[in-house]
Amino acid sequence: MNIERIQSPADQYITAAADKISYPVAAGNQGETLLLMEDVSVSFDGFKAINNLNFYVNEGELRCVIGPNGAGKTTMMDIVTGKTRPDAGTVVFGDNINLLEMSEPEVAEAGVGRKFQQPTVFEALSVFQNLELAASGNRSPWNLLRKPLNTEQQEHIQQVALTIGLTELLAADASVLSHGQKQWLEIGMLLMQNPKLLLVDEPVAGMTHQEMDKTAELLTSLAGQHTVVVIEHDMDFVRSLNTRVTVLHQGSVLAEGAMRDIQNNQEVVRVYLGE
Ligand SMILES: Nc1ncnc2c1ncn2[C@@H]1O[C@H](COP(=O)(O)OP(=O)(O)OP(=O)(O)O)[C@@H](O)[C@H]1O
Ligand SMILES: [Mg+2]
């Protein structure tokens, strides 16, 4: 993998010490802790996929999580969403909400939205209808038979369509969308639920460079109003997000900081970037 130092206009915001980094406001990193994971461990058949993990995300922050295959990145998201129960540890969200006591639907209801790698939009429905279904929380096409949307709901759909860049395509069937557009629609479907925290697993896999740039813009624009955690392997994309990066390795945090510090960290280069 090619490692070069980043030099971007935003570098001026970054001070030397990794723990005293200041970012542009859009990247957040200023508010209260929204997600806290402490001493979290989980084993699968004796293998510690997550090992005494400590991970904190601030309200309004955009955070990127990187690390080798099998590092535990997806498992970490599974624990937050209630899909996997840890053997030990604490997971607290927002105003002291213990996520470990909640079912998957309850975690979603509390304001955690998750996007999986493969888009799951309804191809036979329009972009508008996909957003409409997502708004109701009932993702069954039969749900479209219910009473028409009120003005506020219509406006919300328009606003989300604008955010994800699909206003012109609201009436089009989702089947005609490009791979990238389907991914944005899926993010839009999450936004219809007004999540506080968005967990996004490998959003740019299979995207063109142009689509990647637009995705970086979209995720950056969501930070502030939402808190966003993005898992990604594509280093050019991670660099373009220009935000705080956490490196997971063997189920724990190996390093955290600005990308330019991360890519000069010898341990990180050895276990991941130097591959
Ligand atoms: N439900 C499960 N049952 C058994 N093993 C699992 C389960 N979920 C994850 N693992 C194992 O835990 C480890 C961490 O997997 P995880 O999917 O979290 O890694 P990752 O960092 O997301 O990797 P990748 O970059 O390849 O997506 C792997 O060894 C995986 O095989
Ligand atoms: Mg994964």
Which among 238, 247, 234 has a CA at the least distance from the CA of 205?
A: 234
Q: How many CB atoms lie within 10 A of CB 222?
A: 22
Closest ligand 1 atom, residue 68 Cα: 25
Shortest-distance Cα residue to atom 5 of ligand 1: 44
Domain 9-121+177-273: which CATH number of 3.30.450.20, 3.20.20.70, 1.10.150.20, 3.40.50.300: 3.40.50.300
Return the residue whose CA atom lies nearest to atom 26 of ligand 1.
Answer: 69
- Residue bearing the bigger pLDDT, 164 or 10: 164
Residue closest via CA to ligand 1's atom 8 equals 75
Ligand 1, residue 67: give the atom nearest the CA.
Answer: 21
Q: Which atom of ligand 1 is nearest to the CA of 248?
A: 21
CB-proximal residues (5 Å) to ion ligand 2: 73-74
- How far, in Å, from the CA of 101 to the mean position of ligand 1? 23
Instruction: Check residue 274 and give its pLDDT.
Output: 77
pLDDT at 134 over 90: no
Q: pLDDT band at residue 44, thresholds of 50, 70 and 90?
A: very high
CA angle 65, 113, 226 (to 5 degrees): 75
Torsion-angle region of residue 122: left (phi > 0), alpha (psi -120 to 50) or beta? beta
What is the average per-residue pLDDT within 72-95? 97
Take atom 12 of ligand 1 and give the residue whose Cα is closest. 49
What integer pLDDT is reported at residue 27 of this predicted model? 43
Ligand nearest 72 Cα, by number? Answer: 1
What is the reported pTM?
0.87
Average pLDDT, the chain: 87
> 24 pLDDT band (50/70/90 cuts)?
very low
